[in-house]
Amino acid sequence: MTEKSDTRGIMMLLKLEHLLILFLRFLLIHGQYGDTAATVDWATQRSIYKGIYSHYYNNGTPLADIVPVSDLANGALQVNMSMTLASLNGFDAVSGQIDISGSMLLEWEDEVVASTLVGSLLNTTPGVSADVLVDYDKAWAPNIVLVNAVDTVKDIGDTSYKLRYSLAYPNTATVNWEPRILLRASCTPDVTFYPFDRQVCDFTYTAWGYLSGEITLSVTSSEWDTTAAEANGVWKIISTESQTFTTDGSDYVRFRLTIQREPLYFTFNIALPILLLGLLNGFVFLLPAESGERIGFCITCFLSFVVLMQTTMGFLPEIASPMSLLCIYVFLMMCFSVFINITCILMSRIYQKPAKEKVPNWMKTVVRVVGCQVCRCLQKPPRDPYPEVEWPDVARMLDFFFFLSFLGSQASLTFFFLLPLATRY
Ligand SMILES: *[C@@H]1O[C@H](CO)[C@@H](O)[C@H](O)[C@H]1NC(C)=O
């Protein structure tokens, strides 16, 4: 439990650090904008802002809901999207959720502003450009929503981030909007190879309410930008992918993230204890039967398996298909523990067998051969007679046999279950 709260503490610190970095980056970007923006004076900027605002406000009839394309018959409005990952905050296999943060860049051409306003607002020499920031609510913007969101159905990003209108003479008006995003999406976990599992998570976006004939979504790159992404303690990013598809007449963009668990923590906390416990359990056959501790020892081992099984289950989602191989492995090791238990009980009966019950002859032979008494008696001199074989001798031989066979079968089980898992890493 303390380990869990420790990792939680570390995660909190990481998150704080991450927020700080985001803040610094925010400052940096805005600083850059400040440097390169406005090649026009304040008064021109004011008139541009007023122009865009009154164009969309239109004397009380807001036009902010009409797609700014002069004629839809000539083609839909194209919105370019690209995703930048800042950090992977976590993947919860039990509830099937993934949390990420980053930013999303949306870009489109505002044809109407371009054709009706730019010429008159920038009535200067060609090549002059100007940037203004316009409130999200005061102009048109595509309502992009995350389809598989878990905790919200609102637009992505916060509307307090402004739209950046870049006007260039004679007729260009490019708008870009880059909100910071904190996403929590559902992602069906696949824990078959836990703790060496790989998860594929999709973030699917659509321009809610618009058909592909009105808005076409496209991606500027087939991958996400992960250059500045922060490392995650548990998950490693394997690959990213972005692509578009059309369903039911609407355009969708799927941003796909493939991540892989760093297995060390779980290997040390689950797989190794199970292995060691299995080893320990086998050693019960080397415990002297006279000490009377055997059954207690076996039961303790069995209970430890139950506890480990519970712990393992706690890390895994409650889904039946596909079952985690690790769960099956722990279950089989538990079965071994039960068999060892039963064998111990039967063995104690053999130890306690009354001496007047004769040991069968074939059993005597086996004990002599295995115990190498035969070779000892072949030595000469001295040529002793064979010592008499009693029940405890038989039991001791069986003890040794069971010790080896249980260890051997547990080792091969481990080999067949854990090796294929480990080679996937
Ligand atoms: C969107 O992307 C296409 C192809 O990458 C490009 O030709 C177009 O200019 C972009 N549109 C905007 C508004 O950036």
Q: pLDDT over 70 for what percent of the chain? A: 85
Q: Nearest residue CA, atom 13 of ligand 1?
A: 108
Would 248 be classed as within a structural domain?
Answer: yes
Domain that holds residue 396: 265-355+390-423
Pocket of ligand 1 contains residue 109 by CB under 6 Å: yes
| CA 323 – CA 316 distance, rounded (Å) | 10
Ligand 1 centroid, distance to 184 Cα (angstroms): 28
- Residue 17 confidence class, pLDDT cut points 50, 70, 90: low
Q: Nearest residue CA, atom 4 of ligand 1?
A: 220
Are residue 121 and residue 108 in the same domain, yes or no? Answer: yes
Are residue 146 and residue 293 in the same domain, yes or no? Answer: no
- pLDDT of 1 reads 40
**Which residues lie below 8 Å from residue 238, measured CB to CB, with a gap of 6+?**
198, 258, 259, 260
Sign (positive/negative) of CA torsion 420, 322, 254, 231?
A: negative
Q: Nearest residue CA, atom 5 of ligand 1?
A: 220
Query: What CATH number is associated with residue 248?
Result: 2.70.170.10
Would 374 be classed as within a structural domain?
Answer: no
How confident is the prediction for the chain on average, in pLDDT?
84
**Which atom of ligand 1 is found nearest the CA of 109?**
13
Lowest-pLDDT choice from 106-110, 135-139, 251-255? 135-139
| CA 190 – CA 259 distance, rounded (Å) | 12
Are residue 249 and residue 337 in the same domain, yes or no? Answer: no
Pick the last residue of a domain from 240, 262, 284. 262
Pocket of ligand 1 contains residue 107 by CB under 6 Å: yes
**Which atom of ligand 1 is found nearest the CA of 80?**
1
- pLDDT of 337 reads 94
Pocket of ligand 1 contains residue 58 by CB under 6 Å: no
Does residue 30 carry a pLDDT above 90? no
| CA 224 – CA 257 distance, rounded (Å) | 9
When divided into structural domains, the chain yields a total of 2
| CA 246 – CA 232 distance, rounded (Å) | 33
> Token digits for 143?
């309502």
- Residue 202 confidence class, pLDDT cut points 50, 70, 90: very high
| CA 325 – CA 421 distance, rounded (Å) | 8
Pick the last residue of a domain from 262, 283, 308. 262
Pick the last residue of a domain from 201, 227, 262. 262
Would 4 be classed as within a structural domain?
Answer: no
State which of 78, 163, 178 you would mutate to test the pocket of ligand 1, scoring each by most atoms of that ligand within 8 A of its C-beta: 78
- pLDDT of 204 reads 93
Beta strands, E only, 178-269:
180-186, 198-207, 215-219, 235-247, 250-261
- pLDDT of 37 reads 42
Would 32 be classed as within a structural domain?
Answer: no
Please tell me which residue, 309 or 2, carries the higher pLDDT value: 309
- pLDDT of 2 reads 43
Are residue 178 and residue 76 in the same domain, yes or no? Answer: yes
Would 212 be classed as within a structural domain?
Answer: yes
Place of tokens 């067998």: 353
Model confidence over 35-78: pLDDT tens digits? 344 467 888 888 889 999 999 988 888 888 899 998 888 889 99
Compute, in degrees rounded to 10, the torsion defined by CA atoms 91, 97, 101, 102. 100
State which of 171, 220, 221, 251 you would mutate to test the pocket of ligand 1, scoring each by most atoms of that ligand within 8 A of its C-beta: 220
The answer, as to whether pTM is greater than 0.75, is yes
Would 19 be classed as within a structural domain?
Answer: no
Model confidence over 71-125: pLDDT tens digits? 888 889 999 999 999 999 999 988 889 999 999 999 999 999 998 888 777 766 6
Are residue 89 and residue 221 in the same domain, yes or no? Answer: yes
Are residue 244 and residue 271 in the same domain, yes or no? Answer: no
Pocket of ligand 1 contains residue 172 by CB under 6 Å: no
> Token digits for 200?
């594929």
Are residue 281 and residue 253 in the same domain, yes or no? Answer: no
Are residue 93 and residue 242 in the same domain, yes or no? Answer: yes
Are residue 250 and residue 315 in the same domain, yes or no? Answer: no
Using DSSP, state whether 226 is helix, strand or coil. Answer: coil
Are residue 215 and residue 326 in the same domain, yes or no? Answer: no
The phi-psi region of residue 161 (left if phi > 0; otherwise alpha if psi is between -120 and 50; otherwise beta) is beta
Of the segments 272-276, 316-320, 343-347, which one has the largest average pLDDT value?
A: 343-347
Nearest Cα to 339, choosing from 417, 283, 272, 406? 406
Distances (CA, A) of 63 to 56, 112, 149, 185: 5, 11, 29, 32
| CA 188 – CA 201 distance, rounded (Å) | 8
Are residue 255 and residue 281 in the same domain, yes or no? Answer: no
Would 364 be classed as within a structural domain?
Answer: no
Would 366 be classed as within a structural domain?
Answer: no
Are residue 204 and residue 274 in the same domain, yes or no? Answer: no
**Which atom of ligand 1 is found nearest the CA of 176?**
13
Query: What CATH number is associated with residue 303?
Result: 1.20.58.390
- pLDDT of 62 reads 86
- pLDDT of 270 reads 81
- pLDDT of 169 reads 80
With contact defined as beta carbons under 8 Å apart, do 283 and 208 qualify? no
